[in-house]
Copies of this chain bind each other. A is one copy, B any other.
């Protein structure tokens, strides 16, 4: 398996051998998590950041009364809490969904990168900005799309993001996320997520067998979701000096 972070970052422009070596070095310490475990807790001040190598994870905010909002899904190649490097204290939590293989990158190493490798720094900064763009898109969904549009939107997004790291086959992919978790991401109740998925299936837009989702009509699914992949900035290059 090639290095998921390097191949992700290289979508935004080539890295030098030296830069790639640095990345390989700082991501060499790996840790495994079981399903549905805390990787970082809200309020923690971690001294290393978690790069997801394998598996599904999520970030979430929890309210005192038990309500919770999942603010992002993370897959191979994603830095789930790179923001903690500079923010220090976690304002959100990171948890595994499936079993995960995670590289733990010391903040000291990241600091060293920012001191010595301006281009690499910009590329890492870039990835946190894409996170922000995805957040804004989700806000738009949460605020202005109805349940059907919202569900369709996240399916579109996950399909493209998984495709980018080679985790799709044709128009299908594995979605090992429970409807309860989807509900916490969509800002809906579990019951309503269930009914909405049935609607999408009933319209022939998607099919699902177990954890496998098949997108039957990509065009129409995008239309329903008003999905424009622009916000993922998949082809955007980060200029070198």
Is A131 an interface residue when CB atoms closer than 8 A count as contact? yes
Residue A22 CB within 8 A of the other chain: no
Interface size class of A (residues with CB under 8 A): 35 or more
Shortest Cβ distance from residue A62 to the other chain B in the assembled complex, whole angstroms? 9
Q: How close is A89's CB to chain B, nearest CB, in angstroms?
A: 7
Closest to A125 in B: B125
Interface of A is mostly: helix
State whether the Cβ of A161 lies closer than 8 Å to any Cβ in chain B. no
- Complex CA–CA separation, A95 to B43 (angstroms): 34
* Residue A158 lies at the interface, judged by CB distance under 8 Å to chain B: no
Q: Count the copies.
A: 2
Instruction: Report the minimal beta-carbon distance from A162 to chain B, rounded to whole angstroms.
Output: 20
How distant is A220 from chain B, measured CB to nearest CB, in Å?
A: 15
Q: Does A180 contact B (CB under 8 A)?
A: no
Does A191 count as interface, using CB distance less than 8 angstroms? Answer: no
16 additional A-B pairs beyond A87-B126, A87-B133, A142-B143, beta carbons within 8 Å, are A59-B136, A61-B140, A65-B226, A71-B136, A71-B140, A86-B126, A86-B238, A91-B137, A115-B118, A115-B241, A125-B125, A131-B132, A132-B132, A135-B135, A138-B139, A142-B142
Q: Tell me the minimal C-beta distance from A168 to chain B in angstroms.
A: 23
Q: Are A187 and B142 in contact (CB under 8 A)?
A: yes
User: Which residues of chain B have C-beta atoms less than 8 A from A241's C-beta?
Assistant: 111, 115
Q: How far is the CA of A241 from the CA of B68 in the complex (A)?
A: 37
Q: A144 near B: Cβ within 8 Å?
A: yes
Are B71 and A139 in contact, CB atoms less than 8 angstroms apart? yes
Q: Does A92 contact B (CB under 8 A)?
A: yes
